Amino acid sequence: MSGFSSASIERVKEAADIVEIVSAYTDLRRSGVRFTGLCPFHDERSPSFSVNPQEKLYHCFGCGVGGDVIKFVEEKEGLPFPDAVEALADRYGVELEREQEDPRAQEQRRVRTRLGELLKRTAGFYESFLRDAPQASRARDYLAARGLRPEVLAEFGVGCAPGTWDSVLVRGQQAGYSLEEIEAAGLILRSQKGRGHYDRFRSRIVFPIRDARGRVEGFGARALLPDQKPKYVNSPEGPLYSKRRTLYGIDRARPAIAKGGRALLVEGYTDVLACHQAGIRDAVAVMGTAITPEQVKLLSGYAEEAVMALDADRAGREAMLRAQGVAGGRRLRLRVVRMPAGKDPADLLAEGDGASATAFREAIEKAEELPVFHVRTLLDEGDLSSPAGRDRALDEVVEVIAAMSETITREELIREVADRLDADPGLVARRIAGAGRGSGRSRSPQQQQPQSPLAEAGGEPQAADRPARQRTLSARETRELALLAMCVAWPAEGRDYLERLRDEHFSSPVAARACRWIRDHPEEPTRGLPDGDEPLLAYVTQVAMRAQRERGSPEAMEINFLELEVAAADDQIESVQSGGGEPPVELQRRRAELAERIARAHG
């Protein structure tokens, strides 16, 4: 349900250059009509990733991923389907048509578009003011003192709001916007006394806050004068901006996050800038210290892991621990970077000799898993000098460790706790086993989650989410795939087999569905696949690409078909036997006959 007409989605696919798009992630070489390269979805040494520029399809013979050009952008750039379509349409200059939408939604979209244009225009004004205006020298000096270079300021569109009361107000009106619109965009305030309006941001460094696609949604503004209060002002919540949904820098960081599967969470705007300037391209900032469920949802679309490099003060530590509860239901692994007290990433990266920057990078790589960080924090803060104090600390850490899945990390942590508490590791382990069985005591937030996020992240990806990925096919699955591919490669002979194949011939529902789909769409099976049915899309794509790679032969089709008949007969025999019965004689005779025909077919 993208809201776009299927004709315009087809036009986007036509216009998109899949080789260009994939090449941003892996080097492709031409090989006949196709391009091949190392798979950007799994680690490999020899290329099994294949791109078909005519069909606009990709497929990996190693890990089984595959799909069309839109699917690639969804997966690799971490965009939901409608956004991936829009991003490609923007890039290749295709105009998208929307399907009929109700008048209210249409009106809302019109308002949002207009406000978005006003914000973009205003961001441009702030940016040029910072770059050129003599009055902005203090802002330029501040940013330079933080070690931020003009290129990174330009990349993020950093600007400066002048000290005047009506620069933005007047410019907005001159551009044809009404007072109501400028107010709805969060750019002006109504004065208390009179009926006048004035600019919301004055004498401030302004950071445009953009959504994942780079559209300005609002601004964060830092005070420029020493006595100016408050230090930070943000756009108000409105039709475009919502603090809870926003991650500063997500538009610039998205490709790196999707590529590496990791996001680095920092606190401030300048931390994000400093990280990106230093080549740490997956950094984004949470707006405020608390991480919201909306932000976790946004991140878990792109990343498997979020590494938090937040302030090491008490509030910062508590925010990180609360994040565990927030992330619990999502498949997002959380780790914590130990930051030196009173330092933020921008400080560390700006320090002259580069030693702190190196230490910061190492700290990111060595970031502790959140429960480990939690346990160490409890031990650091507990009074371990008396037996009673050590008992209290043990009570607290037992709760945290009991919620962890059983890993080597957990085992090592248990030894570390025993060591620090001067206790027998057996005692600690017994206490944890007791807590794990549920002692009826109140449980900490992360334990209320159905499953620890660490366990989820560490476990096998759920089959429904990631079909056929990272898994080798069984002999039967390979035959199913090969036969369907040959049916596509040899349409005349294939039609006969497609008619004879039944669901029982296949070992998985998706393969059976793919067979039915191909039977109904034999000419171009990859065209018009239903949106949202990813397993079917992946399977049919795989079939289509295999059809081009290895055409097989009518003889091979016959053998594969007979083998699938045998497999279906075996299934039937097995199900009779598992019910305690004896398979009917005809079934056994048929099984034997099939085996004989296979032997003959092999010649």
State the residues that interact with Zn ion by CB under 5 A: 39, 41-42, 60, 62-63
Smallest separation, CB 49 to Zn ion (Å): 6
The nearer residue to Zn ion, 39 or 85, going by C-beta atoms, is 39
The nearer residue to Zn ion, 60 or 536, going by C-beta atoms, is 60
Smallest separation, CB 601 to Zn ion (Å): 33
The nearer residue to Zn ion, 258 or 299, going by C-beta atoms, is 258
Tally Cβ neighbours within 10 Å of residue 125.
Answer: 18
CA-wise closest residue to 308 among 273, 336, 270, 338: 336
CA-wise closest residue to 488 among 433, 559, 427, 551: 551
Smallest separation, CB 465 to Zn ion (Å): 16
Q: Compute the distance between CA of residue 182 and CA of residue 363 in angstroms, rounded to an integer.
A: 44
The nearer residue to Zn ion, 67 or 157, going by C-beta atoms, is 67
Q: Compute the distance between CA of residue 498 and CA of residue 525 in angstroms, rounded to an integer.
A: 13
CA 313, 315, 321, 326: dihedral to nearest 10 degrees? -140
Smallest separation, CB 72 to Zn ion (Å): 12
CA 130, 136, 141, 147: dihedral to nearest 10 degrees? -10
Q: Which residues contact 461 (CB under 8 A, 6 or more apart)?
A: 469, 470
Backbone angles phi, psi at 471, to 5 degrees: -140, 135
CA dihedral over 377, 379, 382, 383, signed as positive or negative: negative
Smallest separation, CB 92 to Zn ion (Å): 26
The nearer residue to Zn ion, 44 or 503, going by C-beta atoms, is 44
Smallest separation, CB 47 to Zn ion (Å): 10
Backbone angles phi, psi at 216, to 5 degrees: -70, 130
Smallest separation, CB 482 to Zn ion (Å): 19
Q: Compute the distance between CA of residue 319 and CA of residue 370 in angstroms, rounded to an integer.
A: 12
Smallest separation, CB 256 to Zn ion (Å): 20
The nearer residue to Zn ion, 106 or 470, going by C-beta atoms, is 470
Smallest separation, CB 68 to Zn ion (Å): 16
The nearer residue to Zn ion, 26 or 164, going by C-beta atoms, is 26
The nearer residue to Zn ion, 63 or 337, going by C-beta atoms, is 63
The nearer residue to Zn ion, 39 or 514, going by C-beta atoms, is 39
CA-wise closest residue to 388 among 361, 427, 421: 421
Q: Which two tokens stand for residue 254?
A: 């998205």
312-331 core/surface letters (b: 16 or more CB in 10 A; e: else): beeebbebbbebbbbbbbbb
Smallest separation, CB 40 to Zn ion (Å): 8
The nearer residue to Zn ion, 46 or 578, going by C-beta atoms, is 46
Burial degree of 542 (CB within 10 A; 0-12, 13-18, 19+): buried
Q: Compute the distance between CA of residue 403 and CA of residue 369 in angstroms, rounded to an integer.
A: 13
DSSP tag of 423: -
